[in-house]
């Protein structure tokens, strides 16, 4: 069973947005986000959905939203269904605040190409893949409505007036504080938070954390045990993230470039992705993951019932 999409028409629904992996329903003061089982890579939605991925993502996201609400207020109010999160409707800031503690992923690909600057931040010479930065760095990206997000520097963010200096300072301070908390929580579970992204919005004039946080769709994790030995030997780091999905696609001739045909994932690989997501849930939360069967009607009813109780529908 996999939830590829929803297409509800809910009472008092004002708008609907289908993201790469989430279906978002808008109401007067709130929004309901349904975490589907879709999976994306290289800004493309893969043809096959991953069973229970949505429940894993929603469970991890709400876990961390609860655990970081003392750092910055966030949009989340309740999860009336394993695939659903409901919360405050904020005005989104069109930036992704990417925080990197280690040289990996996009940063490593940039570094390997010979460049030493990413989003206006200088990366030291002599680093190798998966080395830790002396201090985490912030490498923001513009949040695109469609297509690829674009790297951008602090200087350009301010020059273009995307946010004010005051808001930017707040975003940077909060992002680093969230990353520090995420790092501590990961370490307690034997993991390293490598890099992640945060998104923010404005609610009643204040900066709020929105969207998901510290999930495998927005973050990369290494295993702490054996990390130093693997670095010394030049061995690839063992990681819990969807980077292995990107690597499988690249091995099968797909990087999201024009003219490339996306390969079809076999059942065995789909099952492997589900297992990886569940493993991360259990590792990062310290709790067992319970697969909860459902129907689309269950999801729709859970949203309507919650919002009706909050007088958003009726």
**What span, in angstroms and rounded, lies between the C-alpha atoms of 45 and 54?**
14
Taking only the tens place, the pLDDT of each residue in 267-288 is: 999 999 999 889 889 988 999 9
Closest CA to 249 of 92, 17, 48: 48
CB of 23 closer than 8 Å to CB of 16: yes
Q: Name the pLDDT band for 146 (thresholds 50, 70, 90).
A: low
* Ordered structural domains, the chain, with CATH: 15-90+266-309 (3.30.200.20), 92-240 (3.30.470.20)
Bridge pairing between strands 76-81 and 22-26: unpaired
Q: Name the pLDDT band for 237 (thresholds 50, 70, 90).
A: very high
CB of 55 closer than 8 Å to CB of 292: yes
Instruction: State mean pLDDT over 230-254.
Output: 90
The pLDDT of residue 147 is: 56
Farthest CA pair distance, the chain: 62
**What span, in angstroms and rounded, lies between the C-alpha atoms of 26 and 24?**
7
In a 3-state reduction of DSSP, which class is residue 48?
coil
Taking only the tens place, the pLDDT of each residue in 171-225 is: 999 999 999 999 999 999 999 999 999 999 999 999 999 999 998 888 999 999 9
Question: Which residues lie across from 1 on neighbouring strands?
Answer: none
Taking only the tens place, the pLDDT of each residue in 99-145 is: 999 999 999 999 999 999 999 999 999 999 999 999 999 999 997 66
**What span, in angstroms and rounded, lies between the C-alpha atoms of 198 and 214?**
9
Bridge pairing between strands 84-88 and 30-35: antiparallel
Could you give the residue ranges of the DSSP H alpha helices within the chain?
53-67, 105-112, 154-159, 165-188, 227-233, 243-251, 267-285, 296-309
């Amino acid at each position: 069973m996999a939830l590829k999409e929803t297409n509800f028409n809910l009472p008092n629904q004002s708008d609907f947005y289908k993201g790469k992996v989430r279906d978002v329903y808008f109401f007067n003061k709130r929004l309901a986000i349904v975490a589907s089982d879709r999976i994306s890579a290289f800004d493309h939605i893969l043809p096959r959905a991953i069973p229970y991925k949505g429940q894993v993502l929603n469970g991890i996201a709400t876990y961390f939203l609860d655990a970081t609400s003392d750092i910055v207020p966030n949009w989340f109010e309740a999860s009336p269904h394993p695939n659903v999160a409901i919360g405050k409707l904020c005005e989104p800031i069109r930036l992704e605040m990417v925080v990197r503690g280690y040289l990996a992923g996009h940063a490593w690909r940039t570094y390997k190409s010979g460049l030493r600057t990413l989003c206006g931040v200088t990366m030291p010479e002599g680093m190798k893949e998966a080395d830790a930065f002396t201090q985490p760095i912030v490498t923001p990206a513009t949040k695109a409505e469609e297509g690829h997000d674009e790297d951008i520097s602090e200087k350009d963010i301010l020059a273009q007036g995307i946010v004010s200096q005051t808001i930017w300072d707040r975003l940077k301070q909060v992002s680093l504080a969230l990353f520090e908390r995420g790092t501590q929580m990961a370490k307690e579970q034997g993991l390293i938070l490598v890099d992640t992204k945060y998104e923010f919005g404005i609610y009643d004039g204040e900066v709020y954390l929105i969207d998901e946080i510290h999930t495998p769709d927005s973050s990369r994790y290494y295993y702490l045990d054996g990390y130093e030995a693997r670095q010394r030997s030049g061995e690839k780091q063992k990681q819990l993230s969807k980077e292995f999905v990107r690597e499988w696609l690249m091995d099968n001739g797909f990087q999201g470039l024009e003219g490339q045909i996306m390969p079809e994932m076999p059942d065995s690989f789909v099952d492997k992705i589900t297992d990886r997501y569940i493993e991360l849930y259990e590792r990062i939360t310290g709790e067992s993951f319970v697969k909860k069967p459902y129907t689309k009607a269950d999801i729709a009813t859970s949203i309507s019932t919650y919002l009706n109780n909050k007088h958003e529908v009726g």
